[in-house]
């Protein structure tokens, strides 16, 4: 019996190591990062699916306040060539976990595969990153220039397995503690 138990434990260890080595990243061109300055309805996040994957993708969005605390998260389905417009004020910053909307913060957007039923689960359930399919832009209000509106492409970032785990765990904690708070919405599109 002891020999069988040892064999089972060793087999499980090999399988777990092989699985984590396969899915451990880094994932290139699967995360976009940006900042926001929330000065009203003019600040938006624009997302599109390039269609490279040949199908739908999920944009898993994680919003952080200036003290680096995750305040909201959500997942938005994007069909090929879809343009989704997400208002920073009403969609990404109006339902924070802490109850107070911030005027500035950062956004992490992970391009992920949808489920087999083409749904986007909340972005804390084993996200499978998808490369080269998501593009993002954010509009910013430049108050030092008499409220000039600018739009810039979000920056590409390599997603490590540690960062992915931190994003998922933060979103899980929000959904566990939030009672509906901390869940952002997907705006318009499709």
Predicted model pTM:
0.82
pLDDT digits (tens, 9 = 90+) for 93-147: 888 887 777 888 999 999 999 998 999 988 888 788 988 789 999 988 776 666 6
Given phi > 0 = left and psi -120 to 50 = alpha, else beta, which region is 68?
Answer: left
Sheet strands (E) in the chain: 27-37, 44-49, 57-64, 70-78, 83-87, 104-112, 134-142, 148-153, 155-159
pLDDT digits (tens, 9 = 90+) for 81-96: 989 999 998 999 888 8
Question: What pLDDT does 39 receive?
Answer: 63
Question: What pLDDT does 144 receive?
Answer: 62
The torsion angle over the Cα atoms of residues 177, 77, 53 and 151, rounded to 10 degrees, is: -90
| Tokens 């952080």, residue located | 64
Question: What pLDDT does 16 receive?
Answer: 30
Q: Which domains does the chain have, with CATH numbers?
A: 27-177 (2.60.290.11)
């Amino acid at each position: 019996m002891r020999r069988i138990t040892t064999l089972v434990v060793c087999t499980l260890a090999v399988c777990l190591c092989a699985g984590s080595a396969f899915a451990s990243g880094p994932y290139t061109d699967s995360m976009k990062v940006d900042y926001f300055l929330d000065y009203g309805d003019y600040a938006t996040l624009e997302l599109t699916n390039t269609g490279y994957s040949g199908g739908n993708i999920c944009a898993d969005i994680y919003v952080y306040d200036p003290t680096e605390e995750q305040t909201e998260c959500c997942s938005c389905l994007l069909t090929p060539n879809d343009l989704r417009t997400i208002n920073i004020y009403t969609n990404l910053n109006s339902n924070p976990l802490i109850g107070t909307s911030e005027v500035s913060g950062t956004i992490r957007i992970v391009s992920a595969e949808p489920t087999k039923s083409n749904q986007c689960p909340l972005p804390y359930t084993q996200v499978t990153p998808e490369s080269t399919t998501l593009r993002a832009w954010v509009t910013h209000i430049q108050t030092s220039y008499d409220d000039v509106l600018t739009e810039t492409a979000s920056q590409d970032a390599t997603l490590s397995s540690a960062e992915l785990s931190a994003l998922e765990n933060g979103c899980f904690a929000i959904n566990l503690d939030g009672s509906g708070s901390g869940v952002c919405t997907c705006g318009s599109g499709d």
